[in-house]
Amino acid sequence: MNDSKTALTLLIAAPRGFCAGVDRAIRIVELAIEKYGAPVYVRHEIVHNRYVVDALKEQGAIFVETLEDVPDGVPVVFSAHGVPKAVPAKAEERGLEYVDATCPLVSKVHRQAERLVEKGQHIVFIGHRDHPEVVGTFGQVPPGAMTLVETAQDAESVEIPDADNLGFLTQTTLSVDDTIEIIDVLRRRFPNINAPRSEDICYATSNRQDAVKAIAASCDAMLVIGAPNSSNSLRLVEVAEREGTSARLIQRATEIDFEWLDGVATLGITAGASAPEILVREVVDWLAERFDITEREVETTREKMLFKLPRGLEAA
């Protein structure tokens, strides 16, 4: 042991980092570049991670916020968060070739929304205003067919014209605990509300939150590697704090505040679903320069989910 370095135990949560939907979305952009040649335009960040976006830019991806920013005659990829129906319709109108990288679990929520509206039900949608996934889901149904609820307080006060003809759906990247609380309020106020047949919060979001809960009590502090606009990463910080552990979100190792680690003997580390493992290793290496680290991975479940690529890209 090196006596000049303070001992620091790292508890590394597993699962962490990339989920199947993120893996698939990144692969879609890479294969689109292989198939069509650079540049390939991507509407919105393919996933919410600066490192990933920059790596794809180097390969020939150009990220834009609207379809108007995509010139004629070039292919465009829609991000993993999903887009309103009007976007592919507009792309078709312009004759643009497009590839939809929407996560299949988000697409499942889109289809559920359509089915509820077809049945004549109003939808209470639990999610975060202006998040691209929420914007995309609202864009699957006619205006006014869905009402957004963000908090349990919203659920207490929301007014629904036909309370007996109601269903709810949720964003896939929410806090499991917060969502249960909101659903409990909705069920109390609207006893006939229709629930989705299966959980909308995606398996990866739930698993990463469970992994944080499993180590939080043993940690003096926790670092969550992810982007400030990544909903699932922000939820991991909240989960750690709810478990009584001080937690911070960082994008890269250089953002670690060593003063904040004063007195920390055991540090938890996890990564949001759009953060690559290379950033976890970067953080561990950065800490190893300052501390005498002991590293231990704590695995709560093993993920085996794989999603197929869109037709036309498999061959690439």
Tracing tokens 């944080």 back to the chain, one arrives at: 212
CA distances from residue 73 to 76, 91, 97, 155 in whole angstroms, order as listed: 10, 11, 8, 46
Tell me if 249 sits within 8 A of 243, measured CB to CB. no
Q: How far apart are the C-alpha atoms of 258 and 286, rounded to whole Å?
A: 11
CA distances from residue 221 to 224, 235, 270, 315 in whole angstroms, order as listed: 10, 16, 12, 46
Tell me if 4 sits within 8 A of 286, measured CB to CB. no
Separation of CA 117 from chain center: 26
Q: Which helix (H) or strand (E) holds 168?
A: strand 166-170
Tracing tokens 């077809």 back to the chain, one arrives at: 118
Residues annotated catalytic, as ranges: 133
